[in-house]
Amino acid sequence: MKNYFKVDEWKIIEEGFDPEYNKVAESVFSLGNGRMGQRANFEEAYSGETLQGNYVAGVYYPDKTRVGWWKNGYPEYFAKVLNAANWIAIDVKIGDEQLDLAKCEIIDFRRELNMKEGYLSRNMAVRTASGKELRVESTRFCSIVDDEAGAIAYTVTAFNFDGVITLTTFIDGDIANADANYDEKFWDEVSKQVNGDSGVLQLRTKKTGFEVATAMKVSVLQGGYPINFSANPVRKEKYIGLEIKINATRNQPVTLFKYAANLSSQNYEKQELSAKALDTVERVSEKGFAIMLKEQAEAWAEKWKHNDILIEGDAAAQQGIRFNIFQLNQTYTGEDDRLNIGPKGFTGEKYGGSTYWDTEAYCVPFYLATAEQKVSRNLLLYRYKQLGKAIENAQLLGFKNGAALYPMVTMDGIECHNEWEITFEEIHRNGAIAYAMFNYVRYTGDEQYLTDYGLEVLIAISRFWAQRVNWSAQKELYVMLGVTGPNEYENNVNNNWYTSTIAVWCLKYTLDVIEKVKAKDASKYAELAARINFDEQAETDKFKDIIAKMYLPYDDELQIFLQQDGFLDKEQTLVKDLPESERPLVKKWSWDRILRSPFIKQADVLQGLYFFEDDYDLETIRRNYDYYEPRTVHESSLSPCVHSILAAKLGDVDRAYEFYLRTSRLDIDDYNDDTEDGCHITSMAGTWMSVVQGFGGMRVKNGQLLFNPLLPPKWNAFSFHIGFRGVLLNIKVSKEAVAITNTSDRDIEVSVYDGRYFIKANSEEVIKK
């Protein structure tokens, strides 16, 4: 699989077509604008292997829970990403022969994802079964300027024939979900209309009752000039089409422009949805394809100005990081606090709901540094708004008094995952949600957030921890039984060090924030305490007692934190002893063997040391890294980035680089053989972190930025952009120097290595190494 796509600094390029990789290419070439997203399915019919996917943000369906043996606490239905109406479809008929790449001889084929300007293009020449030769060129994008719209320019040129070409452009709502448990279809038709050059189809989801109107409008060029055409409307159940017959002459290109819009009832009244969708396609079609595409390129240029990471001397690494940043920007824009970042974004439907702890642990740092403050704030507010459901979720499991357990996976606050050892036990996610708040306030200085929203969430989370621990009469300490840590290759363990550590941290942070909020706005605090029945004295006493007496497993001999009780009972083999043929373990080994083995899926103790690095000296981090990394198989896409950052911190630039490459080209190189299901969107933020926090060594302490850069030997230089409290910086690390350019109108003081530098507005500071 590796090297299927060509290396290019700004593009992903596919030369020649290999049907075996089509689903991978569909994922990698996905387009999105935060509001809607589309896999790189072909416009025309394709009878080969494909995974159709058009997703409208925030619109989901309720799938029936499927488990082996039911356990109390599972919801009966849960929300999953929904495949919506297919809006890109253009059926092509040459005479009576349908164009279908799976049935043609391919003369040439090239597909490019232009990440710089945000569009996908395809150019191919084919010979049909009957011998007709033609070229198809298509360019399409999901507009980030008009974020409910997409546009396609689809050009067919006959080479060796004249005759009628029938282009049927349609919207099809009768689509299935590959990830559905019961093969049901989840859309019902509400209404449709199609006439002249446009049409709209309005559908409603079963049970959840979302409505989406998908509209289209078309125009046609022939030989470069607009032509009048008459389209024959086609109406079927959950389907509208416009059939256009063109008398084609050889070498004279015929271009169909298709403007489409997806409007959701989350944003409009249901009864006006169809009309608004038609308005939208009308409006964008008046701009026209060329202007839309130009606006798209300009808007992407603006994004790249704040986002881009430049790597000199290593094109594969450069392509990798840009692909990651590109996909993150396609997935989430932060405009809407009801939305979040699914592990597959708009590139696939796997993994059910949209929100994991990935958002807080991996994505928030990316958006904090590369987007407006409201973007990460909206990610925090998303959880705030779901606090009520998190409390209900905890009640379902037997917790009381406003304790909250956020779901492992969710779309709307309700749990979407149903394995007891994860759903009920992988509770460290609660900690990541608190940590993201801490991270946000540390980065932005926005303490008001804590007063207005944060403290309420923190108290609910701390109440959960206070009830989740129990007193061990034997240890004379609090213990945390029956948990699953980030390393999901251990289930239902006792005293997972990471979980217990983040629980204690949450309690401490909550106490700290209580004091801050009280000092800042006593009446608001009193109002909150009354509303949530917070018995400050009794509850904070309990929090303090747990902080003081929490059991955190440690091995005196190895001087490391123990991942959990009994970890040292395991057979002490290392990853390097594993034959390649037995990897990945999750595909080659039975589950019980994985569980009993010492092998770690992803950073666990090390995740804690990454989060709370200031609480541990470098030697402690090194000992734990040296112990746990050789036991880690990195079978989660979230694993290499944390290891890369820690390796960089420990000065091991080679290992840091190795982990970086693995994370940044995960999907382009289909490293885990699963990109066909969609891209690993959330781990892409981890890739960004491994450059900025790893090689860049960026941290925030006491409201100031710190950098401790390290340059991988293979690179001549690298640079990245950072926004920090109204200041925009570009940091360039070369062999000789660290150059920091302040492109904003505010001065800033930063630390680089051990020195402090005052960088004036609109000026540059070059720090020689």
Q: For 151-174, what is the HEC assignment? A: EEEEEEEECCCCEEEEEEEEEECC
Closest approach, Cβ 500 to its own copies, in A, equals: 12
Closest CA to 400 of 463, 450, 453: 463
Q: Which amino acid does the sequence have at 523?
A: S
Judged by beta carbon, residue 259 or residue 551, the one nearer its own copies is 551
**Which sign does the torsion angle of CA 62, 64, 69, 70 carry?**
positive
CB of 559 to its own copies, least distance (A): 14
**Annotation-wise, does 601 bind a ligand?**
yes
The residue among 50 and 492 lying less far from its own copies, judged by its C-beta, is: 492
User: Are the C-beta atoms of 137 and 123 separated by less than 8 Å?
Assistant: yes
Secondary structure letter of residue 493 according to DSSP:
B
* CA dihedral for 628, 633, 639, 643, sign (positive or negative): positive
* Catalytic entry in 26, 415, 425, 488: 488
CB of 69 to its own copies, least distance (A): 5
Helices within 428-521 (DSSP H only): 428-444, 448-449, 455-468, 497-520
Cβ 470 to its own copies, closest distance in Å?
4
At its nearest, how many Å lie between its own copies and the CB of residue 149?
37
- Between 211 and 490, name the residue whose CB sits nearer to its own copies: 490
**Phi then psi for 528, rounded to 5 degrees?**
-65, -50
Answer whether 413's CB lies under 8 Å from 388's CB.
yes
- Report how far apart, in Å, the C-alpha atoms of 23 and of each of 336, 659, 758 are: 30, 26, 50
Q: Which one, 475 or 760, has the nearer CB to its own copies?
A: 475
Cα–Cα distance between 584 and 628 in angstroms, integer?
18
Cα 37 versus chain centre, distance: 12
- CA angle at 29 for the pair 129 and 134, rounded to the nearest 5°: 25
CA angle 32, 114, 639 (to 5 degrees): 65
Alpha helices (H) along 134-263: none
Q: Which spans of this chain sit near its own copies (rule: CB under 8 A)?
A: 65-69, 71-73, 396-398, 418-421, 424-425, 470-475, 479, 481-482, 491-492, 494-495, 565-566, 568-572, 586-593, 595-596
Q: Which one, 314 or 349, has the nearer CB to its own copies? A: 349
Task: List, as one string, the DSSP characters of 330-364.
Answer: HH--SS-TT----TTTTS--TTSSSB-THIIIIIH
Burial class (CB in 10 A: 0-12, 13-18, 19+), 768: exposed
For residue 525, is it left (φ>0), alpha (ψ between -120 and 50) or beta? alpha
408 or 528, CB closer to its own copies?
Answer: 408
279 is in an annotated binding site: no
Indicate the residue among 43 and 415 with the shorter CB distance to its own copies.
415
State the helix-helix crossing angle for 387-396 and 455-468, rounded to 10 degrees.
Answer: 10
Calculate the alpha carbon distances from 225 to 140, 252, 295, 325 in Å.
Answer: 20, 11, 23, 38
Minimum Å gap between C-beta 570 and its own copies is 7
To its own copies, the closest distance from the beta carbon of 634 in angstroms equals: 19
Q: Which of 99, 18, 22, 86 is nearest to 54 (CA)?
A: 86
Residue 512, annotated as binding a ligand: no
Is 358 annotated as belonging to a binding site? yes
Distance of CA 288 to the CA centre of its chain: 31
d(CA 655, CA 712): 10
Note if 26 is an active site residue: no
Cα separation of 217 and 355, whole Å? Answer: 34
Q: Where are the beta strands (DSSP E) in 545-658?
A: 554-555, 560-561
Nearer to its own copies, 12 or 394 (CB): 394
CA distances, 234 to each of 54, 194, 199 (Å): 21, 8, 10
Residue 95 or 398: which CB sits closer to its own copies? 398
Q: What is the 3-state secondary structure (H, E, C) of 48-81?
A: CCCCCCEEEEEEEEEEECCCCCCCCCCCCEEEEE
d(CA 392, CA 403): 9
> Which tokens go with 183?
């093969």
For its own copies, the closer of residues 421 and 765 by Cβ is 421
CA dihedral 167, 173, 179, 183 (to 10 degrees): -110
Q: Which amino acid is at 163?
A: G
Instruction: Give the shortest CB-637-to-its own copies separation in angstroms.
Output: 17
For its own copies, give the closer residue by CB, 71 or 250: 71
Q: How far is the CB of 644 from its own copies (least distance, A)?
A: 28
Token representation of residue 336: 């809407």
State the nearest-atom distance from the C-beta of 479 to its own copies, in Å.
5
Residues in the annotated binding site for substrate:
357-358, 601-602
**Catalytic residue set:** 488
Residues in the annotated binding site:
357-358, 601-602
